[in-house]
Structure 1
Amino acid sequence: MFTPDTLEIAMVSFEGPDQYSQAGGLGVRAKEICRAFAAVGFRTTLYFVGDPGKPREEDVDGLRLVRICQSVSRQYPAGVYDGEHDKIEAMWSELPPLLVQISVQPSVAAGRVLAIMCEEWQTADFVETLDRNLRQLGLRDRCVILWNANNHFGFDNMDWRALERAATVTTVSRYMKHLMWPHGVNPMVIPNGIPVEALRPVDDAAVKVIAEAGHTPCLTFKIGRFSPDKRWHQSLDAIAELRDRGLPARLLMRGGIEHFGHGVLGHARQLGLDVAEWNEPIEEPADVARSLEQTGTAAVVNLRRFLPESVLPAISVAACAVLANSGHEPFGLVGLEAMAAGGVAVVGATGEEYARPYGNAIVVETAEGTELASALAGLVERPELSARLREAARRDAADFAWPEIIDGFLERMRYVAARQHVAV
């Protein structure tokens, strides 16, 4: 089996741990899997489109961060996907020699194999360039190259045959595997995970202050990109229906910068839901409580500022339910993280393979507000159901802790290395 003495890890991801670099689940995945590899002793480097104002190279808790495309990022200060295509072009020219210098040559000199894990469609052409460069340098048999799909973005414009020649294709769920079959690809499934810290008990005082500030037995929480896939409209329809029934349901929400967000908030107002825009910074659970308390009984509280990961567990437990009810979800980290904290996750029926309907979570099968409203009403009316789901959620989420996922990954690497004729 591969060990820190025989294997190094390099990941290439558009998103990363900087606030500038985070837009969705990809940034969380890149940060946490690399942190987990580093924590168990593997020399690990994460290459990502980072904050142009930070150092190009930095070591954080044993993980080496290498920020790429910084000269281009200075021209696009709004975030990682601002000027996306210019950054992709810069990555193609800048990254191959940089990765060889920082990761490939040192790992070869130390007698270790280098696993190069590339994420999402932005890196697909880079993988082909990297494969070619390594062959020219006579180093291809010392590197295992993997390319991972976290979503179906870009699938119709990719040269799948060239990608399969250059790398082993992976994805995050059987749902995604099935979406890739029509493209003639049969990827290996390596699921996402959560840090061990996500399983720690949540501070009861923080949970209490948020729950009490909600002034409702049906406080719900939703976080994610503003995309139709996330079923924002279903969430709002459910809140409106519950309020019409006399249950003062509320939705605490944090969306993205996508234009679809205007339609989401417009839909809320069409339903007669009062929307309170909260523009104050959120740094701790007390700030979340203040957003709920000072907006009175507003049906929707829209958090407009960055929401740190450190407050999410307390929100998840304080809420009646975390609405991760996507219609298309390749894996669903939000739901899994909510379960790990001890929250009730409401997920869709796509890639959320960790969820068992009414075993450890609630799984909605449709986009109808009535289905979601009925599920939320059941949680309010049956506290024992909520308690049972929360207990099972924490227990089952432990199976997806990163150390468990990494152990399986290392076993899969036996096959991948043999298939790519890498000398172990």
Structure 2
Amino acid sequence: MIKLDGAISPANTLFVLLCFEGPDVYSTAGGLGTRVSELSEALATQGYTTHLIYIGDPYKPAIEHRLDGRLILKRWSQWVSKYYPNGVYDGEEQKLYDYNESVPYHIFSDIVRPAASEGKTVVILGEDWHTAEVMCRTSDLLHWFGLRQKVLMLWNLNSLMSLNRIDWGRLNFVTTLCTVSKYMKHKMWELSVNPLVIPNGIPTRHLNPVDPQAVERLRAIARRGDPDRFFLFKIGRFDPDKRWIMAIEAVARLKDAGHPVTLFVRGGIEPHGADVFRHAYNRGLQIQDVVAQRPNLEQCLDAIEQAGPADIYNLRFFLPEEFVRTTYAAADATLANSGHEPFGLVALEVMAAQGIAVTGSTGEDYAVSFENAIVTETDDPDEIVGYLLYLRRHPEKQEQMRQASQVTARQFLWDRVIDNMVGKLEFLARKQNIVLSPSSMMDVETESHMHEQVAQEVRVPSKSAGYNA
């Protein structure tokens, strides 16, 4: 492969990802933790040295090296987290203060300065509102020491939470703003900013074939001896934006019309769950709770089979990935019919398993109705009912959609997303007059008085940095 000057490569570029969430169980509260874990791993797999700085488990090593040392996990604010054992957002404000105060100095002294001395470019990517302030402070610090022009700084928006806490003028000035879909780009226009779009991704393992025997067994369990019984699945937080009530009402209307349904649901602990099950009960749907203790795929199937007949099976246990992917493939459709979805990762995972996703029409840029998914454009439950009955009448369309859905998912593998991101980074490097070449060295001040000044002014407290004394 011919390498051209000006191309970003592992030889001349390293990455720093900033995020509250991360790969630890303590650090994962939703899709954000999954995103940064998979993105950082994909970057390191491609050969890039990648630092992931996040609020980590206080009882795990402060620094952990993976993938032959290319992926460096840095569990920040561990000394704070010891006082807040209930996960990443327990003690949120205290952790945020410590993160903002200490991370910029660590990035400058331990990452950017050494990289610049080796002629390497550093890409810093911050995720969501928690990192907005730290990105600004890091930019200011690098500017003070004459290194800001050597660093590409991007800040990515995944959700609309706490946007009022961001100084948009300052953040837009010191970073390149990004988001995950055209829908979110248009939402950000309302804030008088115009971000670049870099989509989310999925890991390659999501394209692995699903066990066909497990698929057939699950279908048999769900249909309870009735081959015409619809088998549907819905997974996600109990949030009104996910349109749970719309999904439940669609199930009830199908049943009322003489089309029995089995619906598997996996929600969270959010209060809206009570509204969802109340509506199901009031519509005459039979609900069966299913419990298990950290089961594998076979144990999941056994637990559901033994639960007895019902319209809705409330899966009140941790769902292993193998079971989720099997359910995506086995179900007639997975209801990912959100009214607000920044990107729609669940629907893309359904497609990867050759399932049929019922999406909303917000951030799901990849979904084309009746080509690779079913796209709902209203909050009318009859829209779901009508589309499912259409597919029942046209089984050949179902198979076409299942094939097309995996083709779509393949376009959003993390390796493809990273190619997209690198293209944008090379554009930004040109705008910033950064010379990207393995053979050239960046001009960096190396006079001894600078190092003495840095040694005096830069002190990263061991507790704040998360390092165990």
- Pick the TM interval, shorter chain: over 0.9
Which residue among 242, 267, 270 is the counterpart of 1:258?
A: 270
Counterparts of 1:96-245 in structure 2, within 5 Å, are 96-215=104-223, 217-245=229-257
CA distance, structure 2, for counterparts of residue 102 and residue 384 of structure 1: 58
Give the whole-Å Cα distance in 2 for the aligned partners of 1:208 and 1:406. Answer: 36
Aligned AA (2:83): Q
Distance 1:269 1:78 in 2: 33
* Residues in 2 aligned to 1:268 and 1:157: alpha-carbon distance in whole angstroms: 38
Instruction: Work out whether residues 116 and 146 of structure 1, in 8 Å CA contact, stay in contact via their aligned partners in 2.
Output: yes
Deviates more, 1:144-153 or 1:95-104: 95-104
Find out whether 1:388 has 2:394 as its counterpart: no
1:364 aligns with 2:376: yes
Map Cα deviations across residues 323-371 of structure 1 (whole Å, 9 max, x no partner): 1110011111100111011000110011101100001100011112221
Matches for 1:302-313 after TM superposition, within 5 Å? 302-313=314-325
Q: Do 1:220 and 1:322's aligned partners in 2 also have CA atoms closer than 8 Å?
A: yes
Please state whether the residue corresponding to 2:383 is helix, strand or coil: helix
Alpha carbons 2:292, 2:300 under 8 Å: kept: no
SS at match of 1:183: coil
- Deviation for aligned residue 1:282: 4.0
Please say if residues 282 and 288 of structure 1, whose CA atoms lie closer than 8 Å, have aligned partners that are also in contact.
Answer: no
1:422 Cα deviation from its structure 2 partner: 4.1
Tell me the residue number matched to 2:90: 82
- The alignment partner of 1:151 has SS state of coil
Residue by residue, what CA displacement relative to the aligned partner does 1:219-258 show, whole Å, maximum 9, x if unpaired? 2111112211111111111111122223221221222232
Structure 2 distance, partners of 1:249, 1:101, is: 60
Once the two structures are superposed, residues 183-238 of structure 1 have per-residue CA deviations (whole angstroms, 9 ceiling, x without a partner) of: 11000111111112212222212222322221254221111122111111111111
> Hey, what's the Cα distance between the residues in 2 that align with 1:372 and 1:408?
34
Residue deviations 1:79-126 (CA, integer Å, cap 9, x gap): 222332222222112322233344323422332111011000111111
Q: Over aligned residue pairs, what C-alpha RMSD do you find?
A: 1.8
Structure 2 CA distance, aligned partners of 1:274 and 1:19?
34
**What secondary structure sits across from 1:111 in the alignment?**
coil
Distance 1:21 1:47 in 2: 11
Any unmatched runs of 5+ in structure 2?
A: 1-6, 437-469
Q: Aligned AA for 1:37? A: L
> Which among 9, 28, 44 is matched to residue 15 of structure 2?
9
Query: What secondary structure, in the 3-state scheme, does the structure 1 residue paired with 2:190 have?
Result: helix
* Deviation by residue 1:121-172 (Cα, 9 ceiling, x = unmatched): 1111111111112222332122111000112222233211100111100011
Distance change in 2, residues 1:369/1:291 (3 Å):
farther
Identity of aligned residues (%): 42
* SS at structure 2 position matched to 1:400: coil
The aligned length equals: 424
Give the counterpart letter for 1:48 in structure 2.
Y
Query: Structure 1 residues 22, 274: CA separation in 2 closer, same or farther (over 3 Å shift)?
Result: farther
Structure 1 segments unaligned to the other structure (5+ residues): none
Segment drifting more, 229-238 vs 54-63: 54-63
Deviations 1:357-386 (A, max 9, x none): 001100011112221122223333432222
Relative distance call for 1:361 and 1:3 in structure 2 (3 A) is same
SS at match of 1:48: strand
Does the 8 A contact of 2:129 with 2:165 survive in 1?
A: no
1:325/1:346 contact within 8 Å kept: yes
DSSP 3-state at the match of 1:20 = coil
CA contact (8 A) 1:6 1:113 kept: yes
Match of 2:102 among 94, 97, 103: 94
Partner of 1:23: 29
Go from structure 1 to structure 2 and tell me whether the alpha carbon gap of 1:309 and 1:107 turns closer, same or farther (over 3 Å shift).
farther
Aligned match of 1:409: 421
Separation (CA, whole Å) in 2 of partners of 1:105 and 1:234: 54
Larger Rg: 2
Partner of 2:283: 271
